[in-house]
Amino acid sequence: MDLSARIGVAAAIVVAAGAALLVATLEVADAHRDAFPHPTLTERSACAAAAADADAWPATFGGSNQVVSVTVPRTALIRVDAVGAVRSAATNTGCAPRAGDDYYVIEPDGSIVPALAGDFAGQRWVGDFTGPGVYVAQDGSVANA
């Protein structure tokens, strides 16, 4: 085999190896992205339609002779760490915390302190809030930062 043929074969091997390396790198990147997905916000479908200024989510139960109407205030429980970073949140609505909710902060020592919705106005809520009462991990941003 002459020199130009050898160079051609070597070039073909280098190109094939480079292509194989690129494919392997892309597969590793895809696997890494799937292993560590960027969190998104998931809420019940009714959350988008719910009025932000509503005081509570009413529920009515009826029988043949009487009707009982119950109003449960929308509540958001926010767990913070020692520097005030939001670590997790739970609501009783199946929606992320929002204006109109009664906010309570759970301090690291377990004490519960009333808060204002405005204290968390800049918070980007992430995770699946469709389960009422389930704490959803947050990214650790600091309220009012």
3-35 residue pLDDT tens: 666 665 555 564 444 444 434 444 544 444 444
**Torsional class of 127: left (φ above 0), alpha (ψ -120 to 50), beta (otherwise):** left
- Only one residue has tokens 């309570």, namely 104
Q: Which two tokens stand for residue 107?
A: 């301090």
- Mean pLDDT for 117-130 is 91
pLDDT (average), residues 36-41: 67
| Length of the chain as a residue count | 145
Give the closest residue to 115 by CA, choosing from 73, 75, 69, 63: 75
- The answer on pLDDT for 36 being more than 80 is no
Sequence spans of domains, the chain: 1-37, 41-137
Q: What is the pLDDT of residues 61-108, one digit of tens each?
A: 666 677 778 888 999 999 999 998 999 999 999 999 999 999 999 999
